[in-house]
Structure 1
Amino acid sequence: MRAVTISATGRSGKLSLSTISDPVPEIGEVLVNVAAAGVNHADLLQRAGLYPPPAGAPDWPGLEISGEIARVGPGVSGWRTGDRVVALLDGGGYADQVAVRATQLLPAPRSVDLIDAAALPEAVCTAWDNLVTVGGLASGEWVLLHGGSGGVGTVAIQIAKALGARVATTAGGPERAAQCADLGADRTIDYREQDFVDALREASDGAGADVVLDVVGAAYLGDNVRALARGGRLVVIGLQRGRRGELDLAALMAKRATVTGTTLRSRPAAEKAAVVAAVREHVWPMIDDGRVRPVVHTRVPLAEAQRAHDLLESGEVFGKVLLVP
C-alpha cells in the first residue's frame, strides 16, 4: 500500500509518498480502507522530530481517519466488513489502509459525508474529554476557547454550545472571528487587536471564565490565570507558543483555581477506549441532530501531504485539512 512517510526530520522535515507492506490486523483490531485522514498540528510536530509515536504505533503520521472496514481481526465483535467508520489512531493514518483497535472505532455519522467525517475523531475526543471530563464544563458556565478557528476549536465551540455553556473564543482577524460566531460563539475576540482578558471580563460581567481550553501554552499562562473565574479550571492541551512559563501561585490560590495539562495520543489504550465510548454516548447524538458538524477547510490528495502541512503551518486554515488517498 501507499503511505506518507517522514523522509527527514527537523525544521525542514519532509514528507514522501512511499510503498510499504500492507498492515495486518492483530487480536482486537480491524483493517480499514482509508477514505480520508485528518491533518493535525501533532503531525507537524512529529515531522519535526518533536513528537515521536507511542510504542507499537506506525512511524508515519495520522491520528484520525474515516473509511470502510476491509477485514475484522480475531477477537473483534460488533463490527463487520463494509461498515463505514471513523477511528482515533495512535498513528499511521496517512495511508491507504490502517489497522486500528476496535475500541477506538466509531460508526461514521449518517448525516456527514464519509470523507468529511475524518475531521471528527481527534477533534471531538479532545474537545469532549478536556471540556467535560477534565474541565467539568456545565450549562450556564463561561468557557474561553483559544484557537477557535482550529480543528479542535471549531468543534469545541459547537459542543460547548450544545451543552448550554456560554462561549468566548479567540481568533486571528475579523473574518475568522466572524466564522467562529457563525458556529455559535457568544463572544469572539480578535487576539491581534484585543486583550482577551479584558474582552472576556466585559462579556462575563467581570466574572471571568469557568473553563479555559488552551492550545497556546506558556505565552498565555499568566493571562489565562487572570482570565479565570473563582474556582476556574485551566486546561492546557497545546504548546504552540512555548513549553515553559511562570505561574503566579498567589493568583491561582486566590481564585481557588486549577491548572491541568493533558495529552491524548500517549494515553493507555483503556483510557482512549473510555474517551471514545463517552464520545459515542454524548457527542454522536449531537452530530446526528445537527448541533455539531465537522468544519473542513479543504481536501488535499494523499500524494500532496507536504502541501497540506504547509497549508496548516500558514495559519490560514479554518477547521480541518483532510488528506484523501
Structure 2
Amino acid sequence: MITTDAWVLHRRPDDPAVPKRGELSRETFSFADVADHEALVEPLVGSWEANLDHALSRDPIDICRQRGESSVVLGNLAVVRVLRTGADVTSVSEGDTCLVLPFGECDRYGYVERVYAYDMPHTVGLLAKRTKLHAGILLPLPEDTPFSLAQWATYGRYFTAWDNWNVAHACWSAQMRDEDPAKHLVFGWGGGVAMAELELARRAGFRVAMTASTDARLSFLAEHGITGVDRRLFPDLSYSAEVADDPEALARYRASEKEFLRIIGELSDGAGAAIFLDNIGSPLYKATLKAMARQGVLATVGWKHGMTTSTLRASECIKRHLHVNTHVWRIHDSARIRDFQNATAWMPPRETVTTYAFDDVPQLAADYAAGRITTYFPTYQVNLL
C-alpha cells in the first residue's frame, strides 16, 4: 500500500440535517501499489476547475455515491513529476515532468466518457502529495518550454478551448463559407475557457468581446486585444421562473436585457454574435439566444450555473442557429495542442495565474465558490521543485 497526505471528500451521510455541500478534509489516504501499467507521481501545481466545485456542491451528482465509494480524492488537472513507473510503462520515465490528461474512460474515437478523478471509479486525484494513475494519461512537457509550471497548470482551460473553438468555427464556416470573419463578432461570457477561445477567434480574424465585472479584468482583456464589456452595466440579466413571476424583478431583467442587446448590436453592426461562447448556463440562456445572429453558433463546454435549458426549436430552426456542445477534448489531439501552446505563446501571462498553497486549498475552494477570485486561472501548489 501507498500512503499519502491528501484533501479528501467524504460521502454525505443519509441525514437531511447534514448540509448538501461537502468539505475537504486533510488526512492520510492509502491506495494500492503501482500496477504494471501505472505510474506513481507527485503533483507540483494543480488547476482549480469547475468540476471540483461541482463535486463539492454535489451538483448535479454526488460523486462519492456515483462511484460507490465512501471517500474520494479529487483533482484531475495538474503538472506532475514521475516518481516511479510500472514494469510495462515505456511512454514516461522517472523524473519526467508531465501534464495529466483527465481521461478515465474514452469511446472508440478518443473522446472522454468518464473523467479521471471525477466520475471514474477507483481513481485517486491530484489533491494529494502523491498519487498513482494510468501512465497513458501522462503527457510530457516540452523540454525547451519558456513557460512556468504555473502557466502550464492552466492547460485544461486551453485544451478544452481549442477543441470547442475548432468545432464551433467549423460549424459557422459550414453556413458562412464566403464571409469575412472581420465583419462578424465572437462574444463570450466571462471565464478562462472563453478567454482562451476568444484569443483563437481573434487570431482567425473575428471581432472579439467578452464580459468582465471588475476594472482589473476589463484592463486585462484590453491588453489581449479583446473588447471588454462591463457586466455591471446589466446587473439583472439572470432569468428564472422566480423572475418571471415577479413584476418588479421582470422589469429589472428587461432593462438589463435591453442594455445588453444594445451593446451586442453596437459591437456587431446590428447583426448579433456570429459565435456565442456560453459556459454559464440557464440563468443567461434567454439573453444569449436573443443576442445571436442568424446562422449563429452557440458553443458551450459545460455550465457554471444551471445545466437545464429550454429552447423553442422552431425559432432556432428558422434562424439557422447551430448548437455546439463539447466536453473536454479528444485524447489523440493532446500532444498537438501542447505543441501549439508552446510554439505560439497561447498561454496566460505569468502574473495572471494565482497560486494557493496546498495548506490553503479549502480557502481556494471557498473563494472560488463565492466568486472572490479575480484571476481566470486559480491554481494550487502541492510539492516544491
TM-score, normalised via structure 2 length? 0.72
1:315 equivalent in alignment to 2:348: no
1:306 equivalent in alignment to 2:315: no
The structural deviation recorded for 1:102 is 3.7
In structure 2, C-alpha distance between the alignment counterparts of 1:76 and 1:161, rounded to whole Å? 41
1:81 equivalent in alignment to 2:121: no
State the match for 2:162 in structure 1.
128
Structure index of larger Rg: 2
Query: What pairs up with 1:67-216 in 2 under 5 angstroms?
Result: 67-89=80-102, 90-91=116-117, 92-109=125-142, 110-120=145-155, 122-134=156-168, 136=170, 140=181, 142-147=185-190, 150-185=191-226, 187-194=227-234, 195-216=259-280
How many residues get paired? 312
Moved more, 37-46 or 51-60: 51-60
In structure 1, C-alpha distance between the alignment counterparts of 2:132 and 2:206, rounded to whole Å? 37
Moved more, 167-176 or 60-69: 167-176
What's the CA shift string for 1:261-291, capped at 9, x where partnerless?
3433xxxxxxx5xx24324314532333324
Calculate percent identity across the aligned residue pairs.
Answer: 23
Report the structure, 1 or 2, having the larger helix content: 2
Q: Give ranges in structure 2 of 5+ residues lacking alignment.
A: 13-18, 103-115, 118-124, 174-179, 235-258
Moved more, 226-235 or 290-299: 290-299
What's the CA shift string for 1:128-182, capped at 9, x where partnerless?
12111355367825322212xx332343333333444432111113332222222
Whichever residue aligns with residue 300 of structure 1, its letter is Y
1:5 equivalent in alignment to 2:5: no
The structural deviation recorded for 1:256 is 0.7
In structure 1, C-alpha distance between the alignment counterparts of 2:221 and 2:35, rounded to whole Å? 42
In structure 1, C-alpha distance between the alignment counterparts of 2:262 and 2:32, rounded to whole Å? 52
Work out which of the residue numbers 260, 266, 278 in structure 1 matches 2:333. 278
1:32 equivalent in alignment to 2:41: yes
What's the CA shift string for 1:177-232, capped at 9, x where partnerless?
222222331x2211220444332221122222222221211112222222222222
In structure 2, C-alpha distance between the alignment counterparts of 1:8 and 1:166, rounded to whole Å? 46
TM-score, normalised via structure 1 length? 0.84
Moved more, 291-300 or 253-262: 291-300
Report if the CA contact (8 A) 1:105-1:276 is conserved: no
In structure 1, C-alpha distance between the alignment counterparts of 2:320 and 2:274, rounded to whole Å? 11
Report if the CA contact (8 A) 1:217-1:243 is conserved: yes
1:8 and 1:297, CA in 2 relative to 1: closer, same or farther beyond 3 A? farther
In structure 2, C-alpha distance between the alignment counterparts of 1:162 and 1:117, rounded to whole Å? 21
